[in-house]
């Protein structure tokens, strides 16, 4: 078992990126998308920094104190390579979300991960 206090912020972000990617892929497959081009295009609406920043803004009021602290830890990380497609604030927020999802995954809180993901990315048209 991994000791959470020994996991670096970049490592949590790395893991959280993977956790989010898996949740996105499960969601898209469940929606019936089957072609790789469709899947890739739809995934961009979840995984780009501006979309993740908007998603975490929806979650912030719903986070526990512990979760909010983990999010801030990621958001305030000092060693970020910000892509040209995102503003620095968006990228920091997206990194905070990834850190939070990585943290929850390591804690084994799969139900909470799925709950937060559903709240962060409500189904199109309220479905």
Mean pLDDT estimate for the chain: 88
- CA distances to 4, 34, 45, 65, 120 from 51, rounded to whole Å, are 27, 22, 6, 23, 10
State pLDDT tens for residues 37-67.
Answer: 888 888 888 888 889 999 999 999 999 999 9
8 A C-beta contact, residue 55 and residue 27: no
Domains of the chain, first to last: 4-121 (1.10.1520.10)
pTM for this predicted structure: 0.89
Q: Is 70 a catalytic residue?
A: no
Query: Look-up: residue for tokens 């979300």?
Result: 97
CA–CA separation, 82 and 96 (whole Å): 13
From the candidates 12, 13, 15, 17, give the one annotated as an active-site residue.
Answer: 17
| Cβ count within 10 A of residue 51 | 17
Confidence check: pLDDT of 86 > 80: no
């Amino acid at each position: 078992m991994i000791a959470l206090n020994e996991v670096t912020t970049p490592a949590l972000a790395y893991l959280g990126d993977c956790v989010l990617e898996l949740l996105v892929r499960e969601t898209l497959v469940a929606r019936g998308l089957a072609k790789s081009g469709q899947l890739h295009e739809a995934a961009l609406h979840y995984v780009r920094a501006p979309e993740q920043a908007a998603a975490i803004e929806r979650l912030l009021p719903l986070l526990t104190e512990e979760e909010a602290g983990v999010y801030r830890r990621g958001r305030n990380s000092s060693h970020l390579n910000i892509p040209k497609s995102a503003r620095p604030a968006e990228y920091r927020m997206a990194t905070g979300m990834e850190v939070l999802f990585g943290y929850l995954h390591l804690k084994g809180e799969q139900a909470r991960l799925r709950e937060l993901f559903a709240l962060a990315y409500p189904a199109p048209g309220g479905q």
